[in-house]
Amino acid sequence: MKTAAPPLPGWIAILRQRLFSTWLDTAVSLLCLYVVWRVSLPLVDWLLVEANWKGQSREDCTSRGACWVFIRARFAQFMYGQYPVPERWRVDLLGLLVLFAGIALSWRGLPRRKEMAIAAAIILPPLGIWFLHGGLGLKIVETREWGGLMLTLFLAIYAGLIAVPLGILLALGRRSRLPLIRFASVVFIEFWRGVPIITVIFLASLLLPLIMPTGFNVDRLARAVIGLAFVIAAYMAEAVRGGLQALPEGQTEAAQALGLGYWRITRLIVLPQALRISLPAMTNEFISLFKSTTLVLIVSIFDLLGIAQAALADPAWVGMNMEAYVFAGAIYWFACFGLSQWSRLQEKRLQAAHGR
């Protein structure tokens, strides 16, 4: 071995060490640079430099870059689908309300934060359905007119609202003392985890009307929400089980010694700690739920991706495939990437709190 060369100043040393330490390394780095150059240049060219931004119709797209005019013209559809234009303020208002509640509740200094959170969890979901669907003074908007990003968010949030409590119950059931409850939970979890989500959405849309009493109509969208919720609940249950298993046995035993019953131990001792541990895993399951909502396309419900797909059929905008996909894909990517970064942050905080 040679003696190491004296350290070079600053960034040159770093570059040399991390990119050009050996001949092979140099070759690899140069190859990478070449790939980046060949891929990113045309991409930036198409996305930004040569792109068309202004105009109303296809004729305004004259240069060879992307035709963002198309996204502009159809932006409202990407957001709301066929939701009637005069009623769209309801969606906006609900969005603002949820956003406001979310920000307020994540502020740690909020007085009576716990009570407020419970109140929001009880009030907001039915309020949301009333806002979007109408009735009681608001004009009714059938679910088949819903679409776009609004529908994607609706599916993810409402399926999540069912899946989280159901998943927690299933996880508790799986670790129950009672063999029958344990067995039922295991069968439920493994069944839904074992089948593709597409088949579940098919199953929900075909079987739910069949197993309900005649004349009782389950809304098309509700079927999709229920199907998604069941599958994600099974995955959530496994995430929560991880948290339950990570909790030392002594916690429960100490609570038992204090004379607490099962439900009080679960509510006051076990769940608060276990859920904190499984929060990152649960967030990851929520990300996969968010991605799975795209599958409702199969039963002709037009979420964000479905609207993008439907837009390709518009004769006034032939050949806008790439623009539609890039726009929809970017929204999914930012949402999922943001969530996964948040989940990583939670994990780090957790590790810091445990001093590991």
Stretch that binds another protein, among 74-82, 102-110, 115-123, 178-186 (CB under 8 A): 178-186
Query: How far apart are the C-alpha atoms of 344 and 215, rounded to whole Å?
Result: 48
Is residue 312 part of the contact set for another protein (CB under 8 A)? yes
Q: Which of 139, 333, 348, 349 is the binder for another protein (CB under 8 A)? A: 333
Based on CB atoms, which residue is closest to another protein, 120 or 203?
203
Is residue 189 part of the contact set for another protein (CB under 8 A)? no
What dihedral do alpha carbons 13, 18, 24, 30 form, nearest 10°? -90
191-210 binders of another protein (CB under 8 A): 191, 193-199, 202-203, 206-207, 209-210
233 by Cβ neighbours in 10 Å (0-12 / 13-18 / 19+) ranks as buried
**Minimal distance, residue 15 CB to another protein, in Å:** 9
**Minimal distance, residue 319 CB to another protein, in Å:** 9
Is residue 318 part of the contact set for another protein (CB under 8 A)? no
Tell me the CA distances in angstroms from 36 to 19, 41, 344, one per residue in order: 15, 8, 28
Contact residues for 318 (Cβ-Cβ < 8 A; gap 6+): 58
**Minimal distance, residue 293 CB to another protein, in Å:** 8
3-state secondary structure 119-149: HHHHHHHHHHHHHHHCECCECCCCHHHECHH
Structure-token match 């930004």, residue found: 48
Stretch that binds another protein, among 63-71, 154-162, 250-258, 295-303 (CB under 8 A): 295-303
Asked if 265 and 274 touch (Cβ cutoff 8 Å), the reply is no
Is residue 1 part of the contact set for another protein (CB under 8 A)? no
Q: Interface with another protein by CB under 8 A: which residues?
A: 18-19, 21, 25, 28-29, 32-33, 35-36, 177-181, 184, 191, 193-199, 202-203, 206-207, 209-214, 287, 291-292, 294-295, 297-298, 305, 309, 312, 321-322, 325, 328-329, 332-333, 336-337, 340
